[in-house]
Structure 1
Amino acid sequence: MTCQMLDGKLLGQKVRADVKARVLASQSVARLDAILVGTDEAAEVYAQSQARTCEEAGIHYVLHRLAATSTFDDIAGRVLLLNNENQVRAIMLHLPLPVGVDVERVQSLIAPEKDVEGVNPANIGNVVYGRRSLVPCTARAVLELIESTKINLQGARAVVVGASNIVGKPVAVLLMRSNATVISSNKFTLELAQLTRAADVVVAAAGVAGLVKGDWIKPGAVVIDVGIHRVTSPQGKTTTMGDVDFESVSKVAGFLTPVPGGVGPMTVAMLLRNVADACLKI
C-alpha cells in the first residue's frame, strides 16, 4: 500500500493565502500583539519568524518586550492593558516565562475573544460545548489535516494518544463533534497497540519519540504525528523525529504527516486564521 504524505507546508500555504485574501477584502487592520519575556534564543527566533509570516499575510505584528526579571504581576499587567485596548484584537504569549511564573494563570487572563492561541480555559471549554470560539492552534491544525484526506469521520474509530489541555483533549472533542467514535489514551494506557490497530484515525501526541510503530496501525489508516523531538544516536548523529516511527508506519498507513513539515506548518497557519477570525469578525 502506498502511503500519502500530508504536506503541512503546502496545505498551510493555502490557508495563508486565504487569510491574506480575507484581510485585503476586509479593508480592516489585522494586528497581532505578542508578548515576549526575556531573551530566550528559541523564542527570539520564533518571534522574528512570526513577524515575517504575519507580514506576508497582511497582518501587522506588534512585539511587546518585557525584562527577564518580570514578575507575574508585570506580565499580567501587560496582558490586562492589551485586553483593554480597543485596537488590540489578537493577543499571544511567547514561552517560556521566567521561573516561578505560572504560565496557565497568565494565559487565563487573556480575553477569550482575543486569545488567538486558544489557551484560555474559557476557549477550551467552548470547544467542548461546540460554541464559536478560538480553537487551540495545534488542535485545529490536526483536524484540518485529517479532513484534507476526505475521510468520513462519522462513525469512524479514532484514537488520540496524549491528553494535554491544548492538543490531546481538544482534538478528541473536535473529533467527537465530527461524530467519530473517540478513545482518549496516553503512553500508560494498557494494550495501547491493540486500540490503535482498530482505529481509522490515530493522533500521536504523547510526547514520546517513536512510540507508535507500524504494527500498531491498521492498513490504510490516517496517522497524524504531533510530536517533535531531537534525538541523538549512539554514533552521535542528531535527527528530528516525532511520536511515530516513520519508517515502519509509512509502510502501513494510508496517510501520514511527516516530521518536520506536517503539523508544525499547519499550526502556524491556524494561528494566522485565528488572528483573522479575531480581528475581522467574519
Structure 2
Amino acid sequence: MKLLRYGPIGQENHGIMDENGDIRCLSSIVPDINGDTLSSQLGKIRATDLSSLPVVSSDVRYGACVGKVGKFLCVGLNYADHAAESGMPIPAEPEIFTKATSAICGPNDHVVQPKNSDKLDWEVELAIVIGKHSSYITEQQAEDHIAGYCVCNDVSERTFQLEKGSQWDKGKGCDTFGPIGPWLVTSDEVNDPNNLSMWLEVNGKRFQNGNTNTMVFKPAFIVSYLSQFMSLQPGDIISTGTPPGVGLGQTPPLYLKPGDKMSLSIEGLGEQHQTVVECAK
C-alpha cells in the first residue's frame, strides 16, 4: 500500500494511492496515518474496497506521509563511499543522531535556508517507518517491526553540523530539514530494501546516483541495534544514510542557495521536489 497525507499545512487529511494512481480518501476508515494506525489498523485498510472511497484531486499538496512522529532518528556515514568523500572513517557501529520532529515537512514543500547559513546541503536517504513497539529485538525480528519505507531528504547545514562543536543535531534539525514522502510504502510492497536505486539532482544536474546495496548497516540491523538503546514506537522514523555526491563532497564544495531546486527519488517510493527559499524571519 502507498499511504499518504494531503492538504494544507497543519490541516492534512489522509489517503491511499489506488492501482490507477488515484488518491482515495481514508478518513472514513482510519483517523490518520500515524503510529496508532500503523500498529493496529493496516489490516482494516487492506480489507477496504478502495473503489468505494472518494477520489481526491490530483493537484493536492502532499504532506509528510506520517503524522505525529515521536522520534526522528538518523544513521550517519552509512555508505562507505560517502564516508570517504566526507573525510571520515567508516564507523565500527552505527553513528546515530536525531533530527527534531519540527524539521518534518511535506515532500514538495520549500526548504528554508536558516539565518547565518552558508553551507546548506542535500542527502537522499531511505527512511524506515516503525510499525510495532520494539525493545531489545533481534535482527531476525526487526523486519516484522517495520511498517514500511519512504523517501527522506536529510537536509543539512554543514557549518552548524561540523564547525560549532561536536553535536551534529545542530545542523540537522532546522525547520523544513526533514521532507518525508510522498508516500509511506508498506513493507510488503518493497521487495528488497537492501537493493533500491536512488538519486538526487540540483537544478537538473544529477549529483547522487546510488543504491541501498552499498549501505554498511542494513535496515533490519539498524532497527535491532537502536532497540538495544531505546524503545522504538509505531510511527518513529529512522533515516538510514546517504550515498556519495553531497555538496560537501564536491571539488570545490557546492552548497545550496535560495532559488535552487532539488529533485530526488528512491526506486518504488516516489519523488520529491523542493525549492530553497530564504528565511523570512
Q: Which has the larger radius of gyration?
A: 1
More strand by share: 2
TM-score normalized with structure 1 length? 0.26
TM-score normalized with structure 2 length? 0.26
